[in-house]
Structure 1
Amino acid sequence: MGVRGLTSYIAKNAEQYLDSHELHDCDVVVDGDSLACQLYKSINSAFGGNYDQFYRVVCNFFGMLKQCNVTAYVLLDGGYEPKKLSTVRQRLRSKIGAIKYLNPFEQSTPTFPIMMREVFIESLVHCNVKFMRCIFEADDEVAALARKLKCPVLSFDSDFYIHNVMYIPSAYLSLKVFRRNILPEDGRKVRQRKDLVSEIDSNGDYSNHKNTQKKDCYYYMQCCAYQIANLAREKGLSKEMLPLFAILLGNDYVHTSIFKKFYMNVSMKKTGKNNTKQGKRIVALLRWLQHETMSSAIEKIINHVEKDKKEWLRDQIRDGISGYVNEKSMAYEYFGLENTVRDSKVKFTTPTVCHKMAEIETEASVERAQNDDSESNGEQSDTDDDITDDDDDDEKEEEETPLDLEIQMKQQMSLSSSFKPPEWLLNKILSGKLPRYVVDLITLRLYINTPQVENFQLEDCNRISVPILQMIFTILHANYPYQKEFRYLTRVQRRTDIEYKRYNSLCLDLRFNASTSKNHEFFKLIFRDFDNSEQIFKMIDETIPSDIQLLFVAIIYWSRYSKHFNVVYVSSLLLCQIVLAVHDSIVEPIRDRIKFEKKFKPNEIKKLMKSHQMTKVESGSMSIEACKTAITRDEVILAQFNFLDLFTISDKLRTKHTEFSSDIIHGFAEFQSIVYQLNCLNALCGEPYPNINISTCINGCFLFHTYMTLKERPNIRYYVKNFLLSLSPNIFNLFELELNVLMPFIECLSQESISKRKKRRNINKRKSREQRQNKSNEDNQLLNDGETTEKRDDGDEESDYEDLNNKFSCLSTGKN
């Protein structure tokens, strides 16, 4: 959620509010979405998401926690609450603007790919980390669980400066593991430490590291920690007043514009010349709250708003305060932690705000009667130091007032407050098998589109998967009163703006049965418009290994509905999947040429090349699984050597920025959208196929560079066989076999289509040569006749440039 300006204020005054801390031998509650964003910031997402790299980074991080004997409990965000939609719309516009003007070489603003959170969950499963997806936002649940476990919270959300927990900002956590020795005589810590692990290495898998904890030493991660007493003690403020302080600063639920008149009556004198405007407001509010009780402060605040908004604001303040002191924890029961709490040295005081609410309401009712006619009881302000919302750039919001939004979302709020999904659906949500938007589709009948790196001149790349989303919506409302449509919040084509579209649920002859373990027949309805749907699924079930069955379903769907799909796309994707899933399972995934040559010496590579000359290996009637089994380690090393440059931004791309094509990325973004929705539909249908492992099939940088490499090749198979995989025949057989399996169902893969493509290229080349020759002859004639050429009407600069070159070539020919 976040409290505006508080993170910056604490960071600026870190020596007052943050304490050095060693993280080890304890539990920790992790805000999963916040941590995922922090870990992804170091990864370039301009090409659509390097999911394999992110997967290893997350595994490395939890491997470090494991070595420090830290047990993590990860909580993930669920759906949006209706009162947050105004903020969601504003942030969506910001994301669209950031992506539209993205510089792939200097990413000042991080952008996060569409399936980042799903890959984060893949990593948690691999590392055996306990996690749960909350129904709505996870902040209150995180704090409640941390108080029950008496352990710190790891996040980067300023709300935790207000919650009564030990808070470790993830930005201040060193991604290194240190060892500290303990003297055996008296147990005192020796003032020395040894750096065991350098900064996270995205090429290794640290998650399987065995804990080598010894009695004479311990391992830890250095960090900074905060406790609520730090802020309260520094400002002489009661801890119970801090939730009200956070609400006054403004968060995603209550915007500060409602407090505009109140701020005019708060003195801004001596708030620090070097502070920002929001920093001055923080100092002034803390000083003002020192002299108030909870009830008196609330009444003075409410007296400065319009009469028709008083009760609304009172409810918002009450709800906001109760969120900060919530003690109910669904995760505590979900993880089965009743008898597993560790001893902790962290001391917590029991929040008393909840117990005082009834008393406050009683006092407030008396004061309301006395102050109804009063408009202002606050202090007089120094107008020169006033901070208003008009000149605060950090607090620009939509023009709708909070009261207008509340009226607008009244029906949705009543639905979300009574959200009680059936047990089968609740289990899938809590276990993270379904993405967070599922709750929005049920409670708000709304889907908030995630913008991707794409060509903004074209239709939204996520539009291709809307039919799958309609199927998901239909299933979700099978056990609810029938809903005809849902709203789809997405970008406007060619503009940095958003709009709502409406899509209907599907009228299907087959009814969804939640009691059936695997709704295979229902899942097949995504291909109901295909003439050969039965043949498609027969091929999938009988020919394709289970781990990539759904991937092939996604490719066939992509080929049918995409306007950009071609043989280069599918070839690039299959090569990427082979490298990430097969190569990386045989040889350690190394993407950097220097590190690769350090591990596999150039002399060793040369010896392998000489001893492993290309031998013709016929796949014959081999299956895909048999082809995988036949691949040797030497073949993988030699193939990896050829693929290394495809994982990094080329020098040509850095020097010639025009080589960066959003059109190419747009096609792969469509595929990502299909995978995102198919995984959700597959999970809802009881997983008739294993879900696609995103980290083993998509690396945006590799896909882009492979496409750029293959697009100019008249015969892709020949190039792959004789150049990329010239010394890896079994890997090529796997690639060719997968193409052959897809060929009957994808038109552009047929031999006829390939021959037509080659023929078309030859015809275009011949026409181009004839046109250049004709222009050359005409220019020669004009030069000989002494005539001057007039300006052409087409205004094509490129043709002008070609004509100029032709003239020079003519002059050169005349000299010869």
Structure 2
Amino acid sequence: MGVRGLTTYLNYNSNIFMKDYDLHNTNLVIDGHSLCAQLYRSLNCFSAFGGDYDKFAAYVKTFFKNLKKCKVTPYVIFDGSYEKRKLRTAHSRLRSKIYGASRLDPVTQGSLQIFPLLLRDVFKEVLKELTVMYTICEFEADDEIAALARYLSCPVLSYDSDFFIYNVVYIPFNTLEIKPKQIIYDEKKVFAMECRIYKVEYLTKHFGGIEKELLPLLATLLGNDFVEKKVFCKFFSQLKTPKGKKSKNEQQRCIHGLFLWLQNETLESAITKIIGRLKNHQKNKVFAIIMKSINGYNKKECKSLKYFNLSNDSIDDIIDIKMPEEMNDDDIDDQSDENRSLSSNDESDKESNSGSDIEESLPEWIAEGIRHKTIPHSFINLYTHHLHFCSPQAEDYLQDDAHYCILPIIRYAFDILTDFEQEHFVYVSREKDCNYKRIFVGKEYAVSKPIILPISQLIGSQLHAYFYHFFKEKLPQLNFEVLNLLPSNFQLFGLALLWWVSNCDVSVGQLQSLIMCFTYLDAIDEKVGSTRSYFHFNNKFSNKILELKERSVMEISDDLQMNKNKVQYDDCIVAAAILLKNFEIDETIRKKPKSYNSRRIHTFAQFQCCLYAINSLNTLCGSPFESTIYSKSYNGTFIYNMALKLEKERDPMLYLQKYLFGATSVLSFYKSLNMIICRLINELNLKFKDCSMGKKKNRRRKTDEEITFLIKEFESEVKI
């Protein structure tokens, strides 16, 4: 939730409250969502093009390999569902995200923090690949993170001011040097990552030995997701705050004043004085909130232990304080200072809470599904709150929300989770005016229930049947036998392409740019490495490239193949030397930023929604298909640049044959993927958008001439 202003206050006095530390040879508990966000911010990717997931994955790998080099064992914990008290905050933050995303372009992307749709899943992909242990909590993770750190007696890595209050050793991410250095430890050279650590003891000692149990009161008084700050306006009106420098705002002076006040209080006396300055109808609720906060910040019991294969023998020490009796409305330590009450119009005051959700729990099958990652994170709020939020991203904000095309998929996931018993869920969509609106997604989007049993009682094959049933209802002409001809790691990607073409206005060039991106990230990268520097690559392989240009080029065989292992190393060098430029922003956009085409970006945003929703549904249905590895499938900058070229061509395939002349086996692999997709599109009777005319066409009408050039010469047998 964060304690407003506390990070600024402690950073201003960092030499007092933080000490230099060399991180090595230890366990480390990591706030998963926080680290994901901070790594992305430090990478400076091209957010305006929808996510360069391969680059982000490489950066995350480097980070965790550096931890391993320093003999640091990470334990990563992610948040799950929103708690009820967070929903108003979530709506408020959504509005600001929508506004930021609407301004996103190649010029502003460096200053706007907009996270691409698939970012968190890419982060988890890397954790899985590197066998880094992680779990997902049912609700917020802060208490679990702190409890695990106490159990392991190790630091927490995050960038959340709550951890200044928790009684843990805390490493703020902004103090961490990601690149390891060699140090001398016990007369040996070891690798370590420089950082700074915070301990509660540094704070309590500085303020004359404040009881650490009092610190959660600071978080409550300054306003959090449980209670509005204005509830304590009478308390603050009687709190003496120091007259500080002009550079310190009222919030900073208030924090300092609270520390000074707490110096002379016990937990019981402080609570008594706080409660005594509340209205009668507020007292019971605020007291319950205070006690929950205190026990949460000192929690020892940790559900996550068993998911990290650790024994759980900790029992919480519950602090039991009785509700204060009626007291006189005296000044706080006889201190008064007129005109020093904090404004109750602060942003945090917009949050409210009914007080009815102090404890939240889920059925065991849902909780276990979240923990074991069989219920996708994107669907958790569907169950807990019957709610799904849009994820603002780079798209055209003059058009409808890019997520609209996947509402039938989300509705089906909702029905599965709720056993088809609910009339509707609420989708929180973006408006064209950069606000949000709530849409009731009713049974007009629904699909019939295929099996009588609820999801909690289904076995593997029955779960798989749920997945097939949806597409048989929505795409009745879809031939799964043909889809299965594709490489297993491309099948869901291919299914997403079909859903995308069926529900959105898509051009041939846009489709082929996506297939070419997959070809590069899946086949070419595997042979020549994941370098993204055009000039570095061409300098490194300059002699080899000249040599390959002199060789005789084989014609592309009619025996098409989809085995990437048959893609030749030399052909990959030829292709990479040509294609690498597409991983950088096109020169036309650098020179003329207004040439950035948000309509093209919007179409690819819709595809990302399709890819994400179909993969999530696949997971929910027991994974009948291999999940798409997003970091080996999607680079937004590459896709945009390829589409820029291919949309201009009447025959994109012919253009690619000339463009990649000499990379025969690469083209064969690409053409094979393309042929199967085009065959399925033809069987589904789908239609592409005509880019040259710039007009939307009716779907479900298909003429042979419009796809002939796509499947020309592809009629031969495909070899897997």
User: Normalised by the size of structure 1, how large is the TM-score?
Assistant: 0.80
TM-superposition CA deviations, 1:422-462 (whole Å, max 9, x none): 2xx44431133433243322221111221121111111001
* 1:446 has 2:384 as partner: no
* 1:605 has 2:559 as partner: no
3-state SS of the aligned residue for 1:328?
A: coil
Task: Give the aligned partner of residue 481 of structure 2.
Answer: 538
Q: 1:538 to 1:311 in 2, by over 3 A?
A: same
Q: Which stretch of structure 1 is more off in the superposition, 725-734 or 102-111? A: 102-111
Is contact 2:402–2:606 with CA below 8 Å preserved after alignment? yes
TM-superposition CA deviations, 1:367-394 (whole Å, max 9, x none): x2344xx48656443335544234x5xx
Task: Give the aligned partner of residue 523 of structure 1.
Answer: 467
Is contact 1:180–1:217 with CA below 8 Å preserved after alignment? yes
Q: How far apart, CA to CA, are the structure 2 residues paired with 1:173 and 1:594? A: 31
Of 169, 172, 178, the match for 1:166 = 169
Once the two structures are TM-superposed, the CA of residue 524 in structure 1 deviates from its matched residue by 1.8
Of 305, 313, 318, the match for 2:286 = 313
3-state SS of the aligned residue for 2:139?
A: coil
TM-superposition CA deviations, 1:519-570 (whole Å, max 9, x none): 333212332345643x5212112x11211111111111111111x2121111
Is contact 1:176–1:221 with CA below 8 Å preserved after alignment? yes
Q: 1:714 to 1:748 in 2, by over 3 A?
A: farther
Of 318, 326, 330, the match for 2:303 = 330
Is contact 2:3–2:219 with CA below 8 Å preserved after alignment? yes
Aligned residue type for 1:16: I
Task: Give the aligned partner of residue 354 of structure 2.
Answer: 406
Task: Give the aligned partner of residue 199 of structure 2.
Answer: 227
Q: How does 1:647-686 map to 2 (within 5 A)?
A: 647-686=583-622
Once the two structures are TM-superposed, the CA of residue 658 in structure 1 deviates from its matched residue by 1.5
Larger radius of gyration: 1
Task: Give the aligned partner of residue 261 of structure 1.
Answer: 234
Unaligned runs of 5+ in 2: 695-720
Counting matched residue pairs gives 684
Task: Give the aligned partner of residue 531 of structure 2.
Answer: 590
Aligned residue type for 2:198: Y
Q: How does 1:210-609 map to 2 (within 5 A)?
A: 216-236=188-208, 237-338=210-311, 354-355=317-318, 357-358=319-320, 360-361=321-322, 364-365=323-324, 368-371=325-328, 374=329, 379-383=334-338, 385-390=340-345, 395=347, 397-398=349-350, 402=352, 405-406=353-354, 410=356, 413=357, 417-422=360-365, 425-478=366-419, 482-492=421-431, 494-504=432-442, 506=446, 508-511=448-451, 514-518=457-461, 519-530=463-474, 532-533=476-477, 535-541=478-484, 543-562=485-504, 564-600=505-541, 602-609=542-549
TM-superposition CA deviations, 1:36-93 (whole Å, max 9, x none): 0011112221111111111111111100011111110100110000011111111111
Once the two structures are TM-superposed, the CA of residue 309 in structure 1 deviates from its matched residue by 1.7
Q: How far apart, CA to CA, are the structure 2 residues paired with 1:104 and 1:115? A: 20
TM-superposition CA deviations, 1:303-345 (whole Å, max 9, x none): 3333222211111111122211111111112211239x9xxxx
Q: How far apart, CA to CA, are the structure 2 residues paired with 1:91 and 1:521? A: 38
Q: How far apart, CA to CA, are the structure 1 residues paired with 2:74 and 2:204? A: 28
Is contact 1:268–1:381 with CA below 8 Å preserved after alignment? no
* 1:634 has 2:577 as partner: no
Once the two structures are TM-superposed, the CA of residue 299 in structure 1 deviates from its matched residue by 2.4
Q: CA RMSD in A?
A: 2.6
Is contact 1:135–1:430 with CA below 8 Å preserved after alignment? yes
Unaligned runs of 5+ in 1: 189-215, 342-349, 762-816
User: Normalised by the size of structure 2, how large is the TM-score?
Assistant: 0.90
Q: How far apart, CA to CA, are the structure 1 residues paired with 2:46 and 2:233? A: 41
Is contact 2:388–2:426 with CA below 8 Å preserved after alignment? yes
Task: Give the aligned partner of residue 131 of structure 1.
Answer: 134
Q: 1:369 to 1:261 in 2, by over 3 A?
A: closer
Once the two structures are TM-superposed, the CA of residue 109 in structure 1 deviates from its matched residue by 2.5
Q: How far apart, CA to CA, are the structure 1 residues paired with 2:577 and 2:375? A: 38
Percent of counterpart pairs with the same letter?
Answer: 32
Once the two structures are TM-superposed, the CA of residue 690 in structure 1 deviates from its matched residue by 0.8
Aligned residue type for 1:607: E
3-state SS of the aligned residue for 1:175?
A: coil
Aligned residue type for 2:83: E
* 1:22 has 2:22 as partner: yes
Is contact 1:614–1:727 with CA below 8 Å preserved after alignment? yes
Is contact 1:325–1:351 with CA below 8 Å preserved after alignment? no
* 1:689 has 2:689 as partner: no
Of 120, 123, 136, the match for 2:123 = 120
Task: Give the aligned partner of residue 775 of structure 1.
Answer: none
Q: How far apart, CA to CA, are the structure 2 residues paired with 1:758 and 1:491? A: 27
Is contact 2:475–2:684 with CA below 8 Å preserved after alignment? no
Aligned residue type for 2:227: V
Task: Give the aligned partner of residue 790 of structure 1.
Answer: none
Once the two structures are TM-superposed, the CA of residue 696 in structure 1 deviates from its matched residue by 1.1
3-state SS of the aligned residue for 1:488?
A: strand
3-state SS of the aligned residue for 2:225?
A: coil
Q: How far apart, CA to CA, are the structure 2 residues paired with 1:450 and 1:536? A: 32
3-state SS of the aligned residue for 2:242?
A: coil
Q: Which stretch of structure 1 is more off in the superposition, 481-490 or 220-229? A: 481-490
Is contact 1:454–1:662 with CA below 8 Å preserved after alignment? yes
Is contact 1:271–1:284 with CA below 8 Å preserved after alignment? no
Q: 1:679 to 1:238 in 2, by over 3 A?
A: same
Q: How does 1:790-809 map to 2 (within 5 A)?
A: none
Is contact 2:556–2:665 with CA below 8 Å preserved after alignment? yes
Aligned residue type for 1:279: Q
Aligned residue type for 2:364: P
3-state SS of the aligned residue for 2:460?
A: coil
Of 37, 47, 50, the match for 1:48 = 50
